[in-house]
Structure 1
Amino acid sequence: MTNDRRVLVHPDKPALAAAVAARFMTKLLDILDEQAVAHIVLTGGSMGGAVLEAVASSPARTSIDWTRVHFWWGDERWVPAGDAERNDAQSFEALLDALELPEGNAHPFPASDSGLELDVAAEVYAAELAAHGVDGQPYPIFDITFLGVGPDGHIASLFPHRSGIQVTDRTVIAVRNSPKPPPERLSLTRPVLNSSQRVWFVLAGADKASALGLALAGASRDEVPVAGIKGRRRTVFFVDRDAAAEVPEQLIAPEY
């Protein structure tokens, strides 16, 4: 199966969120028809939350056996558990609380009030990944990984001109002095993200156009981290019209 990058353009943010939510539920049904469980990586941000809210409001979500779905996160802010700034808190509010997931199906990063130091928290999450690893890998097979993209081209908490995007000997890193607040974070590394079967980028707004255009034009991953992320089977950029302003015409797909 091809793993070429494709760009799907939607007229605005509401249409984008609704379309991604519908594709997610359809694909998840297909995945669960073929295998016992699915592993999904969630992202934060306004679009990450909007997609989950669209799933929550859709009658189609009742057709999915959510007890067979495990949720992970690509990165997390090092703030207390339940803080509104945490990606997991946003995900639970938008969708996960409504799913009544079995204990152990959601895998949030440790929080700053967990009693752990930041580096130890990274090791704890790495161990959680490894506990679900298959085929000798220290992480599960991620069926769909959602990622947002910052105006600077960062993904998860892997930022331009920082060492995080270059790390290959760990699955989770502690991030300090982040150029985007808060300064301390936890993040999956590039090899883990690139192990995903499908990477779905969801981004909207004119401020994302430059980073997207550069990534698709072959920019260095150190300069534009999103350029270094690609799913094994499929990589799709779901974008609104504003974010697509600098995308080469030949990369815009008429349909998925």
Structure 2
Amino acid sequence: MIARNIVIHPDAAATAQAIAARLITAISDAIAARGVAHVVLTGGSLGINSLLALARNPARVAVDFSLVHFWFGDERFVAADSPDRNVGQAEPLFAALEALGLDRATVHAMGSSDEFDDAESAAAAYAETLAAEAPEGASAPQFDVLMLGMGPDSHVASLFPNHTRLEQAGVLAVHDSPKPPADRVSLSMPLINTAREVWLLVAGAEKAPALAAAQHEVNEVAVPASAVRGTEATRWLIDRSAATLL
């Protein structure tokens, strides 16, 4: 049994609210400690609902969002205006935070198919953006919080079971994705695991088998979610229906 920090909430709505409140505290702590916060966002219903909850949480006004960099764990390599894009789904959060100092230049979106010929080029460009914000000698900033959803197959970001080469570092181009669209850009497992805290956001009974498998043993190939870990904390923030097999 691997070490785990699991927090169970009554349902998906309560989980989203709790994630938003926890994120405000984590961002505030990072700014107090280091003068800046680097946060990696995730898509998926729970991930996006958590961001919407953050946009409405009254405590958000306590944060100076001019000191926050937002990144993405993965993105669909599709047109910029596609509704499948995580950055587009997160737009209500960014619009709400502009009044609190958010600079759109610190919202680091992964490239679209309008901007780049292929996913490899988009991945390389995102690696360059990460390097530009990294301390001397590093290829990326150390993320304070990196949020991930998990699919019913245990995939995280765009790292799919028995598909993605998990040993590759940096930013990856993903092709022939088991879940459409076929082409994606994703942070690699080694890069994900440099984050101070990794939060896995899981809701729904359909996720229960994968969640149980991820807690049983580390198997990077068959169960990618099992291999995710933060350098300081790994938190599973889940709802009761996802926890039925724990």
TM range (shorter): over 0.9
Corresponding residue of 2:141: 140
> What is the Cα deviation at residue 137 of structure 1?
1.9
> What is the Cα deviation at residue 194 of structure 1?
0.1
Q: Does 1:28 align with 2:54?
A: no
Corresponding residue of 1:225: 224
8 Å CA contact 2:116, 2:122 repeated in 1: no
Corresponding residue of 1:254: none
- The whole-number CA distance in structure 2 between the counterparts of 1:6 and 1:214 is 15
How do 1:161-172 residues align onto structure 2 when only pairs under 5 Å count?
Answer: 161-168=162-169, 171-172=170-171
**Kindly tell me: are residues 15 and 184 of structure 1, through their superposed partners in 2, closer, same or farther at Cα, counting changes over 3 Å?**
same
8 Å CA contact 1:41, 1:73 repeated in 2: yes
- The whole-number CA distance in structure 1 between the counterparts of 2:94 and 2:48 is 11
Corresponding residue of 1:112: 113
- The whole-number CA distance in structure 2 between the counterparts of 1:4 and 1:219 is 10
> What is the Cα deviation at residue 82 of structure 1?
2.7
The residue identity in structure 2 corresponding to 1:74 is: G
> What is the Cα deviation at residue 84 of structure 1?
1.3
8 Å CA contact 1:21, 1:54 repeated in 2: yes
Corresponding residue of 2:131: 130
| Structure 1: stretches of 5+ with no match in the other structure | 248-256
State the secondary structure of the residue aligned to 2:90.
Answer: helix
- The whole-number CA distance in structure 1 between the counterparts of 2:187 and 2:116 is 21
- The whole-number CA distance in structure 1 between the counterparts of 2:73 and 2:33 is 25
TM-score normalised over the length of structure 1: 0.91
> What is the Cα deviation at residue 164 of structure 1?
3.0
8 Å CA contact 1:164, 1:175 repeated in 2: no
> What is the Cα deviation at residue 115 of structure 1?
3.8
How do 1:1-256 residues align onto structure 2 when only pairs under 5 Å count?
Answer: 4-93=3-92, 95-100=93-98, 101-134=102-135, 136-168=137-169, 171-247=170-246
- The whole-number CA distance in structure 1 between the counterparts of 2:225 and 2:198 is 11
8 Å CA contact 1:7, 1:239 repeated in 2: yes
> What is the Cα deviation at residue 37 of structure 1?
0.6
Deviation per CA, 1:199-220, whole angstroms, max 9, x where unpaired?
Answer: 0111100111111111110041
After TM superposition, where is structure 1 displaced by more than 4 Å over at least 4 residues in a row? none
- The whole-number CA distance in structure 2 between the counterparts of 1:186 and 1:30 is 30
Between stretches 34-43 and 97-106, larger displacement belongs to: 97-106
- The whole-number CA distance in structure 2 between the counterparts of 1:195 and 1:219 is 17
Deviation per CA, 1:20-39, whole angstroms, max 9, x where unpaired?
Answer: 11111112112211111100
8 Å CA contact 1:133, 1:140 repeated in 2: yes
> What is the Cα deviation at residue 135 of structure 1?
5.1
State the secondary structure of the residue aligned to 1:104.
Answer: helix
8 Å CA contact 1:166, 1:222 repeated in 2: no
TM-score normalised over the length of structure 2: 0.95
8 Å CA contact 1:164, 1:173 repeated in 2: no
| Structure 2: stretches of 5+ with no match in the other structure | none
> What is the Cα deviation at residue 66 of structure 1?
0.3
Deviation per CA, 1:159-199, whole angstroms, max 9, x where unpaired?
Answer: 0001332323xx11111100000000000001110000000
**Kindly tell me: are residues 87 and 164 of structure 1, through their superposed partners in 2, closer, same or farther at Cα, counting changes over 3 Å?**
farther
The residue identity in structure 1 corresponding to 2:127 is: A
Q: Quick one: percent identity of the two aligned structures?
A: 43
State the secondary structure of the residue aligned to 1:154.
Answer: coil
The residue identity in structure 1 corresponding to 2:39 is: I
